[in-house]
Chain A
Amino acid sequence: MNITELTLTETLEALKRKDFSEEELNKAYLERAAKLNPKLNIFLEIKKNSCGIPAAIKDAILTKGMKTTAASKILSNFLPPYNATVINKLIEQGISILGKTNCDEFAMGGSGENSAFGSTKNPWNLNKVTGGSSSGSAAAVAADLCAFALGSDTGGSIRQPASLCGVVGLKPTYGRVPRYGLIAMASSLDTIGPITKSVEDAAQVLEWISGSDGYDSNCSDTKFTLQPERLTQGIKGLKIGVPKEYFSEGLDPEVKKVIEDAIKKLEEQGAEIVEVSLPNSKYALAAYYIIVPSEISANMARFDGIRYGSARADFGPEIKRRIMLGTYALSSGYYEEYYAKAAQVRTLVKQDFDKAFANVDVIVGPVSPTTTWNLGEKIDDPLTMYLSDIYTISANLAGIPGLSVPCGFADELPVGLQILGKQWDEETILRVGYAYEQATEWRKEKPKLSF
């Protein structure tokens, strides 16, 4: 048995059966990490534990006494005096932190290339990006360097790298998981969620980390509870919506074909496929690129080098770009034209989903318009880079949950199927994801990493 290939659920069962000890478990992952990390640049820091279930944590999530940099030069020496709530919740469950993962600086980016500490390489092809911003977390799961990982998703930062790295990524409903201790990017959209080797794993981690802590005013008291019999009940009779807007120009034909096959598979499982329309989704990206930079411009203001961190000149180019954009959009005379307008368009995007979900249980489509691309390919063209978030950002604007599940390959590179659900209804998207996963063999595919 190869310990590091086991899913979280399998690992928990094996530990229960005493197939191996926690010490052996940690040793296996640490050895693999020691060999592969230099190639993949996944971990910014590794902690050698001998007990607990090893998890990889995005470096935008605070860990007490363990450096947390958000992959930024400005925080390169920051030692948090407190743990993020999700970390405390995981520790309570017997999880240990194996490493802090690389990401786009302050979670701003969609390729992992904005890290001040170098790009993470895609385990499926070392010349390609992992996607982002939770680049290291997705790659760590794909390369079997941890039992599971945590990422954060403000515009697709869990789902998109999960899709590009061929693993499962869950962005929960906004307000499901407490954000206390997540370095804020855009506060009204930021969510923390799991990146895992299976859908069941994602449900398990969500159960562990959900539920209010009294420190995030936007977090709901309703905890998510994993109910295996509901997760595995199949999707017969479920109504699955396919938004016609997600299949128009811009979608790579190869990716399109893979997604269409996946939808056929869902139909074969007994689901009813219905076309839906999200007419305002074409404005979502524009609204997103007003609201998000505006919130960023305020959230990044605390980095003044007085209480922690270095000087503001140390921000990377994408951070500066978004601060500039947000500051401009909020500046005197522009608030109505930009921020107020975008907040109204946000309502329309949300209403589109409300209308669609009146008729369907979930909505499916691509996560990303393309598979992974070459390192450096889009780095100088921010707008093109932003456009790769086109299918994921609407869920953040609306606050609804979304799941990325591996659904095949285009030119030997992974493609993810996106399953969007109603607010607070992670259960149904996980159920659809589980049914799809079980009906296909994609979860068994692993990148060929030699060392």
Chain B
Amino acid sequence: MNNYEPIIGLEVHVELNTKSKMFCRCSADYFGKEPNTHTCPVCLGLPGALPVINKQAIESCIKIGLALGCQISKKSLFERKNYFYPDLPKGFQISQYRWPLCINGQITLDSGQVIRINRVHQEEDTGKLSHRGDVTLVDFNRSGVPLVEIVTEPDFRDVESVRDYAKKLQQLLRYLGVSNADMERGDMRLEANISVHPIAIASKASPWRLPDYRVELKNINSFRFIVAAIEYEIKRQIEALEKGEKLLQETRGWNEDKKCTFLQRSKEEAHDYRYFPEPDLPEIEIQNSDTKKIAEQLPELPWSKSKRFADEFKLTATQAQILSESKELAWFFEETVKHGNKHGVSAKEIANHLINKKTDINIVLPVQVIEELKGKRVGIIENKEELEELAEQAVKKNANAVLDYKKGKEVALQVLIGAVMKLSLGKADIAKLKPILEKLLKS
């Protein structure tokens, strides 16, 4: 088995979190809504309907491209990708093929391996099918939601790096704030192409070459399943090669019950998408100044942040990585460090505390972490009556937060906790305050 090396490339589809759809003004917030309530002539593919580009989506796509170190194309076109499927209302998907927005980027994995990004392009999502007996039902609420496709070169050599890549990409998308990147909800979907070849030392006589086939794993909607499918596929292909069989270009899906991949489409049945420029949309021209403007809006990227944390605060690489995992945690850490500076608490101490105690940053405030670390329990308000009084004052002063809470917005509680902390100059005991506030709000 060890004489073979898998070669894997990934295509990741990311649903953007814009307000409206890619080419029409329907709300893109379709998840869990009544079927066919988020549609219009455009996303239903009615006769006579025409697309208009969502500017925000293009900016988000360029942001992703820039964060992945891509070149942004000066001239970019939308194109029609033609195929028939009941979830595709126009009979073509508006996508990009010859003129993508972003090309030639890269991303570095934890192992140090560089994965080359072939392209980052903009397209639109399809409707959703559900199968009932011998018919299929179609809901077009998702049809036309902006989708960005990120395509790598076939640079992966094992499943571990695929996992790491997906995690890093998800982290990046959330940092950029362009997508919720929730794999379970389908905000981020993976497709893989895999081939396997015997390890041989490349020489002048036989230079390194990609195998002459590849198997595409498609329509697998869970991250866990795609990883299982890749692992299965590597094994299957090696076994086939061992037996002297010839492997063919094909598309395979994943059967979770049988835990195996299965043939969906052979090369002969392969799609012929007949791409051509979308005549309903004028070209996109991007000046260097536009790209610069978008680049300036980019937040500090997770890997830069992690490196800075390590350098600036003398953390270990692992610590820095954990603390920069999400934008929110990173912000909390840095805020706490700022307070710590005033009280002689070191960043290292804070980092240790946050990581070891697994502090819930949704409940605790940075000042409290410092208080705790200073061991200054003196002056902490734990008295029930005092806390109740503070809570009542906070509720009176924050009518909006109370309303939000009653509408089900859990974050409103944080606002009220914050208000109590302000009133008490940071001395209220949060663990005791929280149930008091909740009781008050429910009364």
Contacts and interface: CB of A to CB of B under 8 A. Distances in A.
Interface in B72-93: 80, 82, 84, 86, 89-92
B82 A335 contact: no
B46 A217 contact: no
Contact of A306 (B52, B138, B276): B138
B48 interface: yes
Contacts of A68: 47
A307 B140 CA distance: 10
Contacts of A84: 48
Given A298-B80, A301-B92, A306-B138, 6 more contacts: A82-B41, A183-B48, A218-B282, A297-B82, A297-B274, A298-B274
Interface string B88-119: 01111000000000000000000000000000
Interface string B122-149: 0000000000000000101000000000
A162 interface: no
A335 B80 CA distance: 13
B82 A215 contact: no
A217 B48 contact: no
Contacts of A183: 47-48
B360 interface: no
B86 A304 contact: yes
B44 interface: yes
Interface string B41-62: 1001111111111000000000
A216 B274 contact: no
Contacts of B51: 217
Interface in B227-274: 272, 274
Given A298-B92, A330-B274, A339-B276, A70 B86 contact: no
A302 interface: yes
Nearest to A106: B47
Contacts of A339: 276
Interface stretch (A41-49, A73-81, A272-280, A410-418): A73-81
Interface residues of A, number: 42
Given A306-B86, A327-B274, A187 B280 contact: yes
Contacts of B317: none
A180 interface: yes
A308 B86 CA distance: 12
Contacts of B84: 301, 304
B80 to A, nearest CB: 5
A302 B89 contact: yes
A5 B215 CA distance: 70
Nearest to A184: B48
B279 interface: yes
B361 interface: no
B205 to A, nearest CB: 33
Contacts of B91: 298, 300-304
Contacts of B89: 302, 307
Given A302-B90, A330-B274, A339-B276, A215 B52 contact: yes
A70 B48 CA distance: 11
Interface string A280-302: 00000000000000110110111
Given A301-B84, A331-B274, A81 B41 contact: yes
B298 interface: no
Interface of A: 61-62, 68, 70, 75, 78, 80-82, 84, 179-184, 186-188, 214-218, 294-295, 297-298, 300-304, 306-308, 327, 330-332, 335, 339
29 contacts: A78-B47, A80-B46, A80-B48, A81-B41, A182-B48, A183-B48, A184-B47, A184-B48, A215-B50, A217-B53, A218-B280, A218-B281, A294-B276, A295-B279, A297-B82, A297-B274, A298-B276, A300-B91, A301-B82, A302-B90, A303-B91, A330-B82, A330-B274, A330-B275, A332-B272, A332-B274, A335-B274, A335-B275, A339-B276
A181 B53 CA distance: 18
B46 A81 contact: yes
A182 B45 CA distance: 13
Contact of B279 (A78, A188, A300, A303): A188
Contacts of A217: 50-53, 280-282
B143 to A, nearest CB: 10
A308 B46 contact: yes
Contacts of B138: 306
Nearest to B271: A332
Contacts of B50: 179-180, 184, 215-217
B164 to A, nearest CB: 36
